[in-house]
Amino acid sequence: MSSQTSSQSSAQAANSNEEERKFLHDIANPLAVAAGMLEAYREDLSRSQVQTTDSQIRKLQKVELALGRIAELLVERRSLISVAEPKTGKG
């Protein structure tokens, strides 16, 4: 592989990683909002006199589990990007 081809490949990989990092950030923000709203809703329910059914509680738990799984996937993907990034020697 020529030096120019290697440089182009490194630049493309860095650009791809940056694009993916931005994409993951764009997912993480609304995810944090959804998790925060779910927690606020649960707090509101616990303070109210409204009786929640087992079915409603299970539905909230499923939402919480789904949001948690998405957060785990984001963390895993971010760590893969970090491992895959070329080392520049800067720092």
Please name which of 32, 21, 29, 23 lies closest in space to residue 82, comparing C-alpha atoms.
21
Q: Look at the pTM and tell me if it is higher than 0.85.
A: no
90: pLDDT strictly greater than 90: no
Give per-residue pLDDT as tens, 34-62: 999 999 999 999 999 889 999 999 999 99
Torsion sign, CA atoms 34, 37, 39, 45? negative
Please name which of 5, 25, 12 lies closest in space to residue 74, comparing C-alpha atoms.
25
The torsion angles phi and psi of 48, rounded to 5 degrees, stand at: -90, 170
Q: How confident is the model at residue 91 (pLDDT cuts 50, 70, 90)?
A: very low
Lowest mean pLDDT among 12-16, 22-26, 47-51, 57-61: 12-16
